[in-house]
Chain A
Amino acid sequence: MGLTPLPQSVAGPGAGSTRKREEFLVLRSTRLMVVAGAFSLLGSWANKAHATGVAAGTSIDNTAQVTYQVGSVNATATSNTSSVMVAEILDVVVTLQTPSVPVLAGATQRAMLFRVTNTGNGAETFQLEMTSVLGGDDFDPTAAAPSIYFDTDASGDLSPGDAPYTAGGNDPVLNADAFITVLVANDIPAGVIDGNRGFSRLTATSRTGTGAPGTAFAGKGSGNTDAVVGTTGGDGEATGEYLVAGIAVNAVKSATVADQFGGTRPVPGARINYTIVVSTTGTGTASASVFNDGIPANTTYVPGTLRLNNAALSDAADADAGDFSTTPSASVRVQLGNLTQASGSQTIQFAVTIN
């Protein structure tokens, strides 16, 4: 189970700035997949060993005995039984299950995963609320409608099998030590940029009552006992973040002309040497990037001149990264693989002659 963003086709900003085709390259990254670090869905919190205490409604009974002697007679006596009733503690903890959710600007229905656990000692009903209007971040995610779901199919992400939450309609009822997994869904605004963070928070509140620890609600506890607010105050919250992860792939093309007379005039027969430097900035990965450049009209590709980072590439479509193709039209292609900012700049060279 993982929270993996779906691959999306996005053209890097460089591609948007193409001008005349024969002068500038067309760079396409065929798939822009944002990959973040591995997620830990279960978290480090093991709820099995967590002792919430004796169940609410349990009667704790105490009876004493005495032995004694009067003269030569041995006797015993038994005391009354004093009983103490165990009250219900109102305690709940909300934990975030998805660290930093990577998103792209304008994405919709992006979900964070939370766990809501009854850390009290009696069955309790909890109301859930979410908000994305929080300070300390770069943008406010926009709550989707509905904004809270139960992870009904236990997939760890938002999927068609998940039931929407309705306050007062299907408030979760949790036994002591039990938990439920909840998804919070937001849309990401369009104008955010790489590195922006947006927070969203889930709050769970015990329906019996909240307040300062020790506040008692007589007779309102499960098992017909009293309910007492525990150390959590009877409510809990956790805040997650969406991280805008975008990459920009830029290409800068330059050309030099060498004519057949030793000069630099662009006359028929002269050779144009093209150099394109492709660089990547931002977070994320442009996966399976392919550089593709059409041979300008009125020129002819010089066979064998295709190079990547100073290594020659064969013109044929074979195991190496580059090839020269005439269909649908004359062009050179170089597979650049998965590019990240750490990949560094990639330099492509090829030459044509002016017809």
Chain B
Amino acid sequence: MFKGLRMIGASAVFAFAFAAQAVAQANCIDLKTAAEVEKEVVNDKGEKSKVLAPAATVIPGTEVVMTVTASNTCKQPSDKVVISNPVPEHMTFVPGSAIGAGSDISYSVDGKVFAAIDKLSVTEGGATRPARAEDVKHIRWEFKNSLQPGASAFGRFRAVLN
């Protein structure tokens, strides 16, 4: 009779609690951008109002409204949300047009240093001068509060087509 050795290991069943770290969700924010133009509409009562409509074709000199929306698609809040948007080529930023509720907005001419426009300078041909609207290449929105699950934050700015 073969008496097999049977190892009965008292194996403890460990319930591993996987901590939410390392390979956890990195797809919590859905980022969308839209380019629109402002149109004036008149309702039946003759009241005028402005609405945003998608911009498909525009001519030089047209002001385009760029809106970036960040939506939290996870069950956890997202912290330290920072949206950054380069000013598209062939467009000039409209100073003072950047808005974003609950955010600190800063600008950059080189993509590295972000500050208020009046704190930025540009070096041209050996001379340094204060930055102007047409020098702004990036806009950044730093949201002060966490973005709750299911919530959206947005930033918007206007730029004119050269």
User: When each residue 59-91 of chain B gets 1 if its CB lies under 8 Å from chain A and 0 otherwise, what string results?
Assistant: 111001010101000101111111111101111
Pairwise interchain contact A62-B21, C-beta atoms closer than 8 A:
no
- From A70, A78, A84, A88, B74 is in contact (CB under 8 Å) with A70
Q: Please report B residues at the A interface, Cβ cutoff 8 Å.
A: 20-22, 24-35, 55-61, 64, 66, 68, 70, 74, 76-86, 88-91, 147, 161-162
Q: Which 10 A-B pairs have the closest CB atoms?
A: A53-B60, A79-B31, A75-B26, A87-B57, A68-B78, A64-B68, A64-B85, A82-B35, A79-B33, A54-B90
Q: Check: A188 CB closer than 8 A to any chain B CB.
A: no
Query: In chain B, what residue has the closest Cβ to A78?
Result: B31
- State A61–B33 Cα separation when bound (angstroms): 10
From known contacts A62-B33, A71-B20, infer whether A84 and B55 are also in contact, taking CB-CB under 8 Å.
Answer: yes
- State A85–B35 Cα separation when bound (angstroms): 11
- State A275–B91 Cα separation when bound (angstroms): 81
Q: Which residues from chain A contact B30 at a C-beta distance below 8 Å?
A: 77
Q: Which residues from chain B contact A49 at a C-beta distance below 8 Å?
A: none
- From B33, B60, B84, A81 is in contact (CB under 8 Å) with B33
Q: Please report A residues at the B interface, Cβ cutoff 8 Å.
A: 51-54, 58, 60-73, 75, 77-89, 121, 225-226, 228, 230
Q: Which residues from chain B contact A78 at a C-beta distance below 8 Å?
A: 31
Query: In chain B, what residue has the closest Cβ to A213?
Result: B59
- From B55, B68, B89, B147, A79 is in contact (CB under 8 Å) with B68
Pairwise interchain contact B56-A68, C-beta atoms closer than 8 A:
no
- State A68–B152 Cα separation when bound (angstroms): 13
6 A-B residue contacts at CB 8 Å? A54-B162, A66-B29, A73-B25, A77-B27, A79-B31, A225-B57
Pairwise interchain contact A65-B83, C-beta atoms closer than 8 A:
yes
Pairwise interchain contact B60-A66, C-beta atoms closer than 8 A:
no
Number of inter-chain CB pairs below 8 Å: 135
From known contacts A60-B89, A68-B80, A71-B24, infer whether A85 and B31 are also in contact, taking CB-CB under 8 Å.
Answer: no
Pairwise interchain contact B78-A69, C-beta atoms closer than 8 A:
yes
Pairwise interchain contact A63-B33, C-beta atoms closer than 8 A:
yes
Pairwise interchain contact A84-B78, C-beta atoms closer than 8 A:
no
Listed residue (B22, B85, B147) with the most chain A CB atoms within 10 angstroms of its CB: B85
Q: Which residues from chain B contact A66 at a C-beta distance below 8 Å?
A: 29, 31, 68, 70, 81-84
- From B60, B80, B85, B91, A69 is in contact (CB under 8 Å) with B80
Pairwise interchain contact A82-B59, C-beta atoms closer than 8 A:
no
Q: Which residues from chain A contact B58 at a C-beta distance below 8 Å?
A: 60, 84-87
Q: Which residues from chain B contact A53 at a C-beta distance below 8 Å?
A: 59-61, 161-162
Pairwise interchain contact B32-A80, C-beta atoms closer than 8 A:
yes
Q: Which residues from chain B contact A83 at a C-beta distance below 8 Å?
A: 35
Q: Which residues from chain B contact A77 at a C-beta distance below 8 Å?
A: 27, 29-31, 70
- State A225–B59 Cα separation when bound (angstroms): 10
- State A66–B147 Cα separation when bound (angstroms): 12
- State A10–B27 Cα separation when bound (angstroms): 93
Query: In chain A, what residue has the closest Cβ to B60?
Result: A53
- State A63–B32 Cα separation when bound (angstroms): 9
- State A64–B85 Cα separation when bound (angstroms): 5
Q: Which residues from chain A contact B25 at a C-beta distance below 8 Å?
A: 70, 73, 75
Pairwise interchain contact A89-B60, C-beta atoms closer than 8 A:
yes
Pairwise interchain contact A84-B57, C-beta atoms closer than 8 A:
yes
Query: In chain B, what residue has the closest Cβ to A72?
Result: B21
Q: Which residues from chain A contact B57 at a C-beta distance below 8 Å?
A: 84-87, 225-226, 228
Q: Which residues from chain B contact A71 at a C-beta distance below 8 Å?
A: 20-21, 24, 76
Pairwise interchain contact A62-B35, C-beta atoms closer than 8 A:
yes
- From A52, A58, A225, B90 is in contact (CB under 8 Å) with A58
CB distance from B99 to the nearest CB of A (A): 15
Pairwise interchain contact B35-A75, C-beta atoms closer than 8 A:
no
- From A65, A67, A82, A230, B80 is in contact (CB under 8 Å) with A67
Q: Which residues from chain B contact A67 at a C-beta distance below 8 Å?
A: 80-82, 84
- State A62–B65 Cα separation when bound (angstroms): 11
- State A80–B61 Cα separation when bound (angstroms): 25
Q: Which residues from chain B contact A51 at a C-beta distance below 8 Å?
A: 162
- From A60, A70, A79, A82, B91 is in contact (CB under 8 Å) with A60
- State A81–B33 Cα separation when bound (angstroms): 7
Q: Which residues from chain B contact A52 at a C-beta distance below 8 Å?
A: 60
Q: A58-B90, A66-B84, A69-B80 are in contact. List 9 more A-B contacts (CB 8 A).
A: A62-B85, A63-B33, A64-B31, A64-B85, A70-B28, A72-B21, A73-B24, A79-B33, A87-B59
Pairwise interchain contact B28-A64, C-beta atoms closer than 8 A:
no
CB distance from B70 to the nearest CB of A (A): 5
CB distance from B48 to the nearest CB of A (A): 17
From known contacts A79-B68, A84-B58, infer whether A70 and B31 are also in contact, taking CB-CB under 8 Å.
Answer: no
